A and B are shown apart, each in its own frame.
Chain A
Amino acid sequence: MKNKEKKVKKGSIRKRIVFFFTATALLSILSFLPLQLSQKSKLLQDSNNENNEAIRQLTIDNCHLKLNDVHQDIEDAVAGMQISEMVNKIKNYSETDKLVENITLLNNDDRILINTRDRSKERELLIGPREKFSSVTKELTTFTDKNHLRTVLPIFDGGRRWGTLVVYFTLEPLAKQQQAFKQHLTMRLQGIIRSSLVTFILYTAIAIIVIFILSAKISKPIEELTTRVENFDIDKFTPLEQKKVGNNDEVTVLNEAFIKLADNLQESYYKLKNHNKNLEKKVAERTSELRKNNEDLVVAKEEAIQANEAKSQFLASVSHEVRTPINGILGAEKLLQSTALNMKQKHFADTIASSANTLLLTINDLLDFAKIEAGKLTLENVQFDLLDIVEETLDMVAVNAYRKKLQLGVVFGPNLPETVTSDPHRIQQVLTNLLTNAVKFTKNGFVKLTVSYIDSQVKFSVEDSGIGISKAQQKKLFEPFVQAEASTTRRFGGTGLGLAICQSIVESMNGKIHLVSEENEGTTFSFEIPVQKVDSEPQLCKEFKNEKIVLSIYDKLLSKSTISLLGKLGVPFSLMISKEVQNSIIITDDHNAQFPRDNRVIRLVLPNHPHFKMSVNNSPLILPLKRSKLVDQLKYVCGLSENIEIAQGNFLTENRPDIQILLAEDHPVNQDVFLATLEQLGFSADLADNGEVAVKRAKEKQYDVIFMDCEMPVMDGYTATKEIRKFDKKIPIVAVTAYNIESEREKAFGCGINDFVPKPISSQEIINSITKFTKEKQLKHLINSVDTHLGFENSSKGMKYLTIFVKTNRQTINQLQETEKMTEDEINECLHKIAGSAATVGLTKLAEIAGKYDHSLCQAVVRRFKEIEKIVGA
């Protein structure tokens, strides 16, 4: 392809020269020749025409002469009366002379006397419109057409008109002759053109040959130069041959220039080549250096990875290694606390515990911080219920807030979306940290969490009435290992890493964290993070539309929180107090207000409020107030649920026999909590404020079980137990104690205690304990209810059915304990089986709960079954 292109280029100059010259020669010849030829032929024709005209004129003159002859002859004949001679003469004329076409002789009356040849002429004269030839007085010549003419001549006889002579002449023979000559002339012209063409071709051929020779002469040196350029090999170390090209013309100069250029080029090329060689050498050197460096780097990297792994491993093992002894310390401290300690020793033990706990938190913080520093903080992006997460987080700090008697509450913004997409665990981590700090640094007052939604961002604000932070300290606060005051570390513990971690988390979520604080006034930490709003149906509560409830709230924060929760639940409420309460929920903070009797009243009171004991008619309120708690309270007071915990699906209270319980507990809050728990489980209890009262009650009434707090004023639990044992050896007494340890147990058993329930109390522990000591009573009750249900009164077949019920469903219940491994259908199938069996034996509540196929109620089903299993003992 390239070669071909080269060839085309090679011939192009020559071709162009040949083409150009040939075209010029042809053009000039072609434009000159026709001009010449046409001019000559025109000239020839013009002269021919002139000649023709002259001959014609001469012929016409000749005709006139002839006419005069004829005329003379006729007049002579007329004068001599020699008519026949005249006739012969006329005939002779007309026959001998080619010019004469016809001769007619007419008399004075225009009658034809003689007509020679042409009868048509005679007829013309006879028939045609009669011309008055007789009136013609002198010679009159007219052309009848181009080649014919007529001459009329009067004939006189001695001055007297005799007749008229009409002679028709024809120029036809002349015209024919002229035509023939013209043809001859044309033929001659064509001959000239042909010979001219031959000459032209000859000339052209010669011209082309000459052009070829000339062009070759011009282009050859160029071609030669081109070949030289083409064949010039820069790589050859031989210099270019000093060959002369061209005839001292421009090409020669070009060639010389080329030679010079080639020399320069070659020189540069050699230099470049040398340079390249050097460069290659250098590159090779560098490459080997680089390779070596790379190898070093790989080694270094591996070392670094190993070092990092070692660091992580170190951190992990350190944390593990540190945690284990800390747990040991904490365990030992608890043991220590249970021994007889004097005040000083107890104080030291407390210090050990708090230090160990602080150390544990520090280790966790350090691990988190190390993760963030290493950029290993990973964020989730999942859909979750924002309100649930917030309520859960509040629960975590609730115990500490409760202990310090702080008011803890949440206020949700009106347009806050319930479901959002973000990282719930990180949000919870930051919130927990801020809330824990707030609770930690607030001696008394409140901790308030506000959650609002502005411009696609959720804003969390944690406001407290704590010690506050000075302006100077605020600046340093988000730096790691910094606390507001060095002394705070001593006073409150903590690493000072918490806020640095919070800030890192919030910033990694594209959010910002702020701080507003006044010393001794309180602090507000707030952070906002962008979240994706997910459209979801708000979980509205429609049960209370027509209820008349008064929420009597004795606290501003609590009332604000309640209002926002009612708003979120879609429960209609009003803040107005009027004498006539409408069909809706009324919120008031006026505890002296009187309400109509048919209104149900819920008093929400803080634990440290003087009116707290008044709230016992409902269940005790442990802050923070949550949606579910509020709904349960409302349902409970409206009679919409049998007890509070059923709605949460924890315990079923059906088929409870009448079990007499005595609770000996001095602390009012504990009393409330314990009583409420019993109530949730379907039991009620008599109350004794101290050991002495308990002994008195036990004497008066036969109880099935006594729950005994160990530390009480007037008379403690152990003493009271000893007293009761003096008159009742059988009554089961369950100690409620925070110290669930062996030595304590031995001491308690020695006093006649039968069992322990650890503090803080749990429903499960209590139900287990009650079941343990009231088995017979409960079994009897169960069998009776089954018999009654089946119509086998007093047959005691119930025991058989209950045994079958427990045995046939045990497997199913075991499956239900691991619902996370099951499909929805499998769970439903299990619930269906239980529901069927339970319905058959008349455990209607269990059947109803299982038959709802509500998976959140599975645990309630399992618990109730386990309880029955224990009672039946199968």
Chain B
Amino acid sequence: MKKIVIVDDDLLFCEVAKDQFSAEYNITTFNNGNDASEFIKQNHFDLLITDILLPGQDGFEIIQLTQAERGDAKIIAISGGGSVDSESYLDLAKRFGVVYTFSKQSPITQLTEIVKEIL
């Protein structure tokens, strides 16, 4: 069973994502950047789904850490509700080398499809 790490301070999103993916994947969720980075340093996983704005270390730091520590792990950057800033955050994430992005404005079923495609 492939492992997915989800980092988002929005408990609701974590819960929804867990329900979405737990049947097919092994899911670990974190609500802040610091706990997530501890886990990333010590554990192997296949996919990271992370929000950009996070308490503690932000999404960009988590992405960089994953790229350094877990070179083979795939990354999906997600961003929250705001129509104004979410696009620009995701654009920035792409500059960090993130291939897949997802805006929460879109239905979560789209995320499910992206995950299926990647793993």
Whether A and B are associated in the same complex: the answer reads: yes
Q: Which residues of A contact B (CB under 8 A)?
A: 789-792, 797, 800-801, 804-805, 808, 828, 831-842, 844, 847-848, 850-853
Complex Cα distance, B19 from A790, in Å, reads 10
User: Closest approach, in angstroms, between the C-beta of A677 and any C-beta of chain B?
Assistant: 29
**Which chain B positions have C-beta within 8 A of A791?**
20, 107-109, 112
Q: Verify B11–A836 contact, CB threshold 8 A.
A: no
Q: Verify B83–A848 contact, CB threshold 8 A.
A: yes
The reply on B71 being an interface residue by CB < 8 A is no
**Which chain A positions have C-beta within 8 A of B107?**
789-791, 842
Complex Cα distance, B38 from A624, in Å, reads 64
Q: Verify B16–A801 contact, CB threshold 8 A.
A: yes
Complex Cα distance, B16 from A432, in Å, reads 55
**Which chain B positions have C-beta within 8 A of A808?**
10-12
Report B6-43 CB contacts with A as 1/0, cut-off 8 Å.
00001111011001100000000000000000000000
Q: Known contacts A835-B104, A839-B104; can you find 15 more A-B pairs with CB under 8 A? A: A789-B108, A790-B16, A790-B107, A790-B108, A791-B20, A797-B19, A804-B15, A832-B85, A835-B83, A837-B81, A840-B10, A840-B108, A847-B105, A851-B84, A853-B82
Complex Cα distance, B14 from A804, in Å, reads 11
Which 3 A-B residue pairings sit nearest by Cβ, starting from the closest?
A835-B81, A836-B80, A836-B81
Q: Verify A839–B15 contact, CB threshold 8 A.
A: no
**Which chain B positions have C-beta within 8 A of A833?**
10, 80-81
**Which chain A positions have C-beta within 8 A of B112?**
791
User: Closest approach, in angstroms, between the C-beta of B103 and any C-beta of chain A?
Assistant: 8
**Which chain B positions have C-beta within 8 A of A790?**
16, 19-20, 107-109
Q: Which residues of B contact A (CB under 8 A)?
A: 10-13, 15-16, 19-20, 53, 80-86, 104-105, 107-109, 112
A807, closest chain B residue (CB) = B11
Q: Verify A852–B20 contact, CB threshold 8 A.
A: no
B15, B81, B105, B107: most-surrounded residue (chain A CB, <10 A): B81
B103, closest chain A residue (CB) = A839
User: Closest approach, in angstroms, between the C-beta of A316 and any C-beta of chain B?
Assistant: 50
**Which chain A positions have C-beta within 8 A of B83?**
835, 848, 851-852
**Which chain B positions have C-beta within 8 A of A848?**
83
Complex Cα distance, B112 from A59, in Å, reads 163
Q: Beyond A832-B81, A852-B84, is A840–B20 a contact (Cβ under 8 Å)? A: no
Q: Verify A801–B15 contact, CB threshold 8 A.
A: yes
What would 11 A/B residue contacts be, using CB atoms closer than 8 Å? A790-B16, A790-B107, A804-B12, A804-B15, A833-B81, A835-B80, A835-B82, A837-B13, A840-B16, A840-B104, A844-B105
A835, closest chain B residue (CB) = B81
A839, closest chain B residue (CB) = B104
Q: Verify B10–A853 contact, CB threshold 8 A.
A: no
Q: Beyond A791-B109, A832-B53, A839-B105, is A850–B81 a contact (Cβ under 8 Å)? A: yes
Complex Cα distance, B105 from A350, in Å, reads 58
Q: Verify A801–B12 contact, CB threshold 8 A.
A: yes
User: Closest approach, in angstroms, between the C-beta of A32 and any C-beta of chain B?
Assistant: 116
Q: Beyond A839-B81, A839-B104, A842-B107, is A804–B11 a contact (Cβ under 8 Å)? A: yes
Query: Which of these, B12, B82, B84, B109, contacts A841 with CB under 8 Å?
Result: B12
**Which chain B positions have C-beta within 8 A of A853?**
82, 84
Complex Cα distance, B84 from A552, in Å, reads 39
**Which chain A positions have C-beta within 8 A of B19?**
790, 792, 797
Q: Verify A831–B82 contact, CB threshold 8 A.
A: yes
Complex Cα distance, B112 from A801, in Å, reads 18
User: Closest approach, in angstroms, between the C-beta of A815 and any C-beta of chain B?
Assistant: 15
User: Closest approach, in angstroms, between the C-beta of A850 and any C-beta of chain B?
Assistant: 6
**Which chain B positions have C-beta within 8 A of A839?**
80-81, 104-105
Q: Verify A847–B12 contact, CB threshold 8 A.
A: no
User: Closest approach, in angstroms, between the C-beta of A774 and any C-beta of chain B?
Assistant: 25
Complex Cα distance, B19 from A838, in Å, reads 17
**Which chain A positions have C-beta within 8 A of B13?**
836-837, 840
Complex Cα distance, B16 from A833, in Å, reads 16
B105, closest chain A residue (CB) = A839
**Which chain B positions have C-beta within 8 A of A847?**
81, 104-105
**Which chain B positions have C-beta within 8 A of A841?**
12, 16
B11, closest chain A residue (CB) = A808
**Which chain A positions have C-beta within 8 A of B82?**
828, 831-832, 835-836, 850-851, 853
Q: Verify A832–B108 contact, CB threshold 8 A.
A: no
Complex Cα distance, B84 from A828, in Å, reads 11
Complex Cα distance, B53 from A833, in Å, reads 10
User: Closest approach, in angstroms, between the C-beta of A267 and any C-beta of chain B?
Assistant: 100
Q: Beyond A852-B83, A853-B82, is A836–B16 a contact (Cβ under 8 Å)? A: no
Query: Which of these, A804, A805, A832, contacts B80 with CB under 8 Å?
Result: A832
Complex Cα distance, B110 from A842, in Å, reads 13
A841, closest chain B residue (CB) = B12
B108, closest chain A residue (CB) = A790
Q: Verify B81–A800 contact, CB threshold 8 A.
A: no
A837, closest chain B residue (CB) = B12
Complex Cα distance, B16 from A801, in Å, reads 7
Complex Cα distance, B16 from A853, in Å, reads 25
User: Closest approach, in angstroms, between the C-beta of A201 and any C-beta of chain B?
Assistant: 113
Q: Verify A838–B16 contact, CB threshold 8 A.
A: no
Complex Cα distance, B75 from A808, in Å, reads 26
Complex Cα distance, B80 from A848, in Å, reads 11
Query: Which of these, A840, A844, A850, contacts B12 with CB under 8 Å?
Result: A840
**Which chain A positions have C-beta within 8 A of B85?**
832
Complex Cα distance, B10 from A805, in Å, reads 9
A789, closest chain B residue (CB) = B107
**Which chain B positions have C-beta within 8 A of A828?**
82
**Which chain A positions have C-beta within 8 A of B105?**
839, 844, 847, 851
A834, A840, A844: most-surrounded residue (chain B CB, <10 A): A840
Complex Cα distance, B108 from A841, in Å, reads 9
**Which chain B positions have C-beta within 8 A of A801?**
12, 15-16
Complex Cα distance, B83 from A850, in Å, reads 9
